[in-house]
Amino acid sequence: MRKTLILVLFISLAGVSFPQAGSLYFRAKLDSILSLPVFDSTQIAISIYDFTDGVTVFNKNEKLLLRPASTLKILTSAAALYFLTPEYQFKTGISYTGEIKDSTLNGNIFIEGGFDPEFTTDGIDSFAVHIKKAGINKINGNIYADISRMDSLYWGKGWMWDDDPAPSFPYMNSLPINKNSIKVITSPSGAGEKAGIKTIPETSFVLITNKTLTAENDTSAVSALRNWVKRKNEITVSGKIGIRSAPDTSEVNIIYPEKYFLTLFTETLKRHNIIFTGGGDTLRTPADAKLIFTFSAPIGRVITRGNKESDNLNAEMLLRAAAYEKLKRTVSAADGIKYTDSLIALAGMKKGNYRIVDGSGLSFYNLISSELIIEVLKFIHSNPRLYPVILNSLPIAGVDGTLSERMKEFAHLKNIYAKTGTMSGTSCLAGYLYTTHGHLMAFSIAMQNFTGSSKRMRSIQDDICRAIYLIKSDKDE
C-alpha cells in the first residue's frame, strides 16, 4: 500500500515538473530559444525526426555545414561496426622467430599491433606469462614492435599543434599502449619539502623534473607538462600541493609511443624474471614467425568507451581498423574515411555535401550538416545489428559519460542517449531521445562561432532537449 502511495505521489510530482506540451507549444519554445541575442552572432543548426510518426518535427539550418566536433564519432563508430561487424575483435599478437632450446630463445620476439586502443600494461603482463608458458626464460635476440598496419602520420589533418601534450591528442600508431599517455601522481610530503611524485605506469621511459612544494595550507595547484616544444618525453611537475590534500593526478601524452611500448615490454620481462639483453626496434613480423599468444578486445568495448568518454584514440583506431581489415595493407586516415563515406551513402546522403578528414572530430577541417547526422541516426536505427550497440555506447543524460552532469532531472528516466561534441567555438549534441509520450526522436544540435566557455551553449542544448522530451505530436492531441 505504501509503495502505491509513493508511486502516485511521484507521478503527481512528475506531472508538475514535466507538464504536457503540444506541438504548438514546442515550436513556440524553440522560436523563443532561437531568438536569444547570442544567436545574432552564433550559428545554430537543428534537426529533429520522429521515428514513431515517421516525420521530421523541426528543421533550422539543417543543411548548413558546421564543425561536428566529437559528434563525428557517431559516424565513425557506426561505419566501423557496419563493416567490421559486431563480432569483430581487435587483436595484438606476439610471436617469435628462431628456436627454443633449454628455455632459451635464440631468435627474436615480434609484437604485432592491431589498432587496439584499450591495450594496457596488463596486456604486456599477459604476454610475459605466455612467453614463460612457451618455455622461454631467456631471449637471445631482439624485440620488435610491428607498427606496419598504419602509416607514419601520427596526428590527424587539422589537429591543433598547441593542444600538445594533452592526452586527448595522442600520438598514434597501430600498437597503442595505455592510451599512448602516462599519469603523474603528486602526493604531499612534509611542509616545505618537495612533493612525492610517481608515474602510472612506473617506467624509466620518461624523465621527471620535480619543481613542486608541499604547502602548509590546503590549497593545491599542480601541473605536469611534457617538453612538447623540443619533442621530448621530459615531464616537469610544478606548483604547490597542500599537506592535507589528496594526491593530484595529471596525464600527458607520450611521443614515440612505439618506443614507449618497447620500454614497458622490456621492464615487464625483467619483473617476470625473463632474461633479455638485446635491443628494441620496429620491424614487420616475418611470415614464418610462430605465434605465442593473441590478446583480443571486442569492438563493442572499443566503441562504448569511444562514445561514452569521447575517447579520440578509440575513434581513430576504429577508423583505421575498418580500412585495414578490408585492404590488408598499410592504411591511412583517408583509407578509413572511405568507409565512413560508404555508410553515409547507405544513409542516402551525397558525398559532395560534407567534408570529413579524421575519425574523432578533432580536426577543424571537418564540415557536416545536422541533416546528415539525422540521416545516419535513422540508418543506424533501421539496422538491428547496429542500433543496440550504438545506442548503448552513447552517454546517458544525468547518468554517465560526458552527459553525467547534464539534465539530471531526467536521470531516473534514462531517456536521452546522445553524443557530445566540444571544441573551441563549437558545441554540439546529437542522438536519440524518448519523449514523455513514448515517441522515439533523433536529434542533432550544432552551435558554432561563439567566444568564451561553451557552458551557456550546453545549457541551451539542454533546454532544447527538455522541449523535445515534453512534445506530443498532433496525432497525440
Q: What is the CB-side half-sphere exposure of residue 438 using CA atoms within 13 A?
A: 2
Query: For position 183, what pLDDT does the model report?
Result: 98
Distances (CA, A) of 127 to 104, 274, 285: 16, 12, 16
471: pLDDT confidence band, cut at 50, 70 and 90?
Answer: confident
pLDDT at position 217: 85
Statement: residue 68 has pLDDT above 60: yes
pLDDT tier at 21, thresholds 50, 70, 90: very low
Tell me how many degrees the CA angle 176-182-186 measures, rounded to the nearest 5: 170
Nearest-angstrom CA–CA distance, 301 and 181: 20
Per 3-state DSSP, what percentage of the chain is helix, strand, and coil (rounded to 5)? 35, 25, 40
pLDDT computed for residue 282 by the predictor? 98
Cα dist. 376→25, 345, 434 in Å?
A: 28, 9, 18
State the pLDDT at residue 413.
83
- Confidence band, pLDDT 50/70/90 cuts, at residue 412: confident
Answer whether residue 450 shows pLDDT above 80.
yes
**Residue 77 pLDDT exceeds 90:** yes
Contact 121, 178 (CB under 8 A): yes
* CATH H superfamily, domain 89-154+256-298: D-Ala-D-Ala carboxypeptidase C, peptidase S13 (3.50.80.20)
As a whole number of Å, the end-to-end CA separation of the chain is 33
The answer to whether 138 and 194 have CB atoms below 8 angstroms apart is no
pLDDT attached to residue 13: 36
Please tell me the distance from the alpha carbon of residue 472 to that of residue 18, in angstroms, as a whole number: 12
Q: Read off the pLDDT of residues 132-149 as tens digits, 9 standing for 90 and up.
A: 999 999 999 999 999 999
**pLDDT score of 26:** 87
> Which residue in 313, 338, 345 sits closest to 323, CA to CA?
338
Q: What is the pLDDT of residues 289-301, one digit of tens each?
A: 999 999 999 999 9
**Does residue 7 have a pLDDT over 80?**
no
Checking if the pLDDT of 382 tops 70, the result is yes
30-60 tens-digit pLDDT: 999 999 999 999 999 999 999 999 999 999 9
pLDDT in tens, 205-221: 999 999 999 998 888 89
**pLDDT tier at 25 (50, 70, 90 boundaries)?**
confident
Question: What pLDDT does residue 114 have?
Answer: 98
pLDDT at site 379? 98
As a whole number, mean pLDDT of residues 4-16 equals 37
Mean pLDDT of 72-95: 98
CATH of region 16-86+301-470: 3.40.710.10
pLDDT band with cut points at 50, 70 and 90 for residue 18? very low
Residue 47: closest CA among 402, 418, 380, 372? 372
CB 96 within 8 A of CB 109: yes
Region of 400 please: left (phi>0), alpha (psi -120 to 50) or beta.
Answer: beta
Q: Would you list the domain boundaries of the chain? A: 16-86+301-470, 89-154+256-298, 179-253
Mean pLDDT of the chain: 93
Q: In the chain, pLDDT over 90 holds for what percent of residues?
A: 89
Overall pTM > 0.85: yes
Residue 351's pLDDT band, with cuts at 50, 70 and 90, is: confident
